[in-house]
Structure 1
Amino acid sequence: MQRSGDDGLGRLLHTVHAADRGNLPAVALWHITVAPLTGVQMDEAVRRGWLTRSERLVAERRSSDMLRGAFGSRRVLRRLAASVVLRCAPEVVEIASWCPRCGIADHGRPWITNTAGRRLSMSTSSSGDTVVIAIGARSIGIDIESEHRVADPALVAAARRLDGWDEVALACPSDSTPLMEWTAFEAIAKTTGHGLTAGQWRIAEALAQHRLEWFTDRHGWVTCVAAAAPAAPIL
């Protein structure tokens, strides 16, 4: 008998394989619009090995069904994307992370491995029902934002006071929009493992080792990818 969660997970798998992936040298990119998973679908994902029990518990701590399902979708999508790059079954992909601030391993900059020990860098971001995923052999960060992010002048002004923002703004093209600067800051901050608290010297060091690329989708949402230059350290 077919389980009620199978159809949704099957669509996710098809979406990942059929997605129009962008190309940067040595980087695989996904830009996917996806609906939240139901509780039944997340339980089925755990059974298949596409979602860990720990991830399922983290999802349950979200405050609404929509937030729980969106978290589940993002975690399943990144495992499916990793399996495409590693050319292995999703259930054998190992996704690890570590937060340098608190030492906890259930969040922070992620990386992926398979049973053969191949290790790759991964970064993800989401806005609304859109998820972007970047996977590469070297350090990588990605961020997607809509115009709503920069609609509040007070929020933009607060962001520009973040330590390291000026360095990122200088690294952006002279005609960059506020949204391009915002996505660049978040993408480069992710490569440090410290996120928005990276600080000026970590941001400056990361900018010296990564190049920035931007993409705009049909909705006008902007994605920035910070990809390590060939001479930068391999993770």
Structure 2
Amino acid sequence: MTSFSGMTSDAIATVATSADVLRHPEAGEHLLTAVEKERAARFRHESGRVDFVAAHVLVRLCAARLLGVPAAALVLEQQCPDCGKGDHGKPYLSDRPGISVSLSHTKGVVAAAAGHRPIGVDVERTDRGGTLLDVAPRVLAAEELRQVKAHTDPARAFLRLWVRKEALIKIGRTTLDGLAAVDLSGLPLDLPGGRPLLGRFEGLHLLDWVDEPHGAAVAAVCELPPRVVELASL
């Protein structure tokens, strides 16, 4: 994966395999809080536990790169806006209130983002498009559904919309029940030359790309234009 821009940015996002994240020099479960360690221990399968840990490490690495501090200096917490509990929900840096962070994980692949303004990120395996396509009529606007059905690869076209909408949920612009009311049909469904695509939606910058080596579709949305960074640069 190559960087979207060589310039500095106030909003960054990255994607990597869980295994690669945990090989990072700063990585390790020592970065996790007691709550995160307890949550990780609940996973019945080791693969799920590894993905969880990798995502929570990667988001620290992103924020550390943004702030120019060691990952170990950051304390990540979560809080559910519905029940108020602190063992799940939107992640945040308890000692850095001006920084927004987001994380996502799927089978073997994780994504994270950090910014000086609210930011959301989502990642899905590209091979999930076919199974997710079944929910298209419930989560797509009418024009989006028409575009997906007319696309040469409907499963991939739907996955592109799905990660965009999931990223919008992460930033608080919509909910699972409100996805069909969000119409992203004005954005291209194909990425030019396989490069990251930076678009606009209701005052937000929406960056999405396909990480072919990792078989992942990713989207990041922020009030600032985010850029893709490589794990090696974190």
Q: Is this a same-fold pair by TM over 0.5?
A: yes
1:55-74 matches, cutoff 5 A: 55-74=36-55
- 1:135 equivalent to 2:114? Answer yes
- Take 1:209 and 1:177, find their aligned partners in 2: how far apart are those partners? 23
Partner residue in 2 for 1:30? 14
SS in structure 2 of the partner of residue 151 of structure 1: helix
In the alignment, the residues of structure 2 paired with residue 200 and residue 95 of structure 1 have an alpha-carbon distance, to the nearest angstrom, of 32
Structure 1 CA distance for aligned equivalents of residues 83 and 69 of structure 2: 32
TM-score (normalised: structure 2): 0.68
CA distance in 2, matches of 1:32, 1:62: 21
5+ residue gaps, structure 2, are: 184-200, 226-234
Matches within 5 A, 1:189-204: 189-192=169-172, 195-197=175-177
Ranges in structure 1 where 5+ consecutive residues have no aligned partner: 1-18, 231-235
**Residue 160 of structure 2 aligns with which residue?**
180
Q: What is the deviation of 1:98?
A: 2.0
Given residue 45 of structure 1, which amino acid in structure 2 is its aligned partner? E
CA distance in structure 2 between the partners assigned to 1:193 and 1:60 by the alignment: 32
Q: How does 1:47-58 map to 2 (within 5 A)?
A: 50-58=31-39
Q: What CA distance in whole angstroms lies between the structure 2 residues aligned with 1:66 and 1:87?
A: 31
Amino acid corresponding to residue 74 of structure 2 in structure 1: V
1: CA distance, partners of 2:135 / 2:70:
44
1:226 aligns with 2:221: yes
C-alpha separation in 1, matches of 2:143 and 2:71: 36
Question: How far off its partner does 1:210 sit?
Answer: 1.8
Q: Which amino acid aligns with 2:66?
A: V
Alpha-carbon shift at residue 104 of structure 1 (Å): 1.5
Confirm or deny: 8 A CA contact 1:31 1:130 kept in the other structure: yes
Q: Which amino acid aligns with 2:114?
A: I
Q: Give the equivalent residue in structure 2 for 1:166.
A: 141
Distance in 1 (CA, whole Å) between partners of 2:135 and 2:46 is 31
Q: Distance in 1 between matches of 2:207 and 2:90?
A: 20
Give identity over the alignment, percent. 26
Show the 5 A alignment for 1:10-159.
21-23=3-5, 25-35=9-19, 45-46=29-30, 50-112=31-93, 114=95, 117=96, 119-152=98-131, 155-159=132-136
CA distance in 2, matches of 1:140, 1:167: 27
Q: Paired residue for 2:195?
A: none
User: Partners of 1:168 and 1:195 in 2: how far apart?
Assistant: 19
1:64 Cα deviation (Å)? 1.7
- The answer to whether the 8 A contact 2:11-2:224 is kept is no
| Shift of residue 198, structure 1, vs aligned partner | 5.1
Give the conservation status (yes or no) of the 8 Å contact 1:99–1:193.
no
Q: Does residue 1:210 correspond to 2:187, yes or no? A: no
The 8 Å contact of residues 51 and 109 in structure 2, kept in 1 or not, is answered as no
Aligned CA distance change for structure 1 residues 73 and 59 (closer, same or farther; 3 Å): same
